[in-house]
Amino acid sequence: MIAQFSWPLSTALAGILGGLFNPGAVIAVMGALLALFCIAQLFNPFLLRVEDKEWLDGLAAKAVGK
């Protein structure tokens, strides 16, 4: 649902920003923001443990209430 909603919204936003500003600058700024977001996710503690089976099993057990 989120992906289906975000595509038309992002297209509209890109059109508005491209009309107001230089399209090359908009693409460069958005690319830089995406790169910063991706780099920030490298330090996300939940993503760092995504392959830690013991931690995931403990998290699942806690959610079930065991």
**pLDDT digit string (tens) for 9-62?**
888 988 898 899 988 988 899 899 999 999 999 999 888 888 889 988 988 899
Other CB atoms within 10 A of residue 62 CB: 9
Distant-in-sequence, close-in-space partners of 50: CB < 8 Å, separation ≥ 6: 56
Give the contacts of 47 (CB within 8 A, at least 6 positions apart). Answer: 41
pLDDT at 66: 60
The band of 6, judged by pLDDT with boundaries at 50, 70 and 90, is confident
Please state whether the predicted TM-score (pTM) of the whole model is above 0.75: no
Q: Give the C-alpha separation, 29 to 1, whole Å.
A: 27
The predicted pLDDT at position 34 comes to 95
Q: Which distant-in-sequence residues (6+ apart) come within 8 Å of 14 by Cβ? A: 26
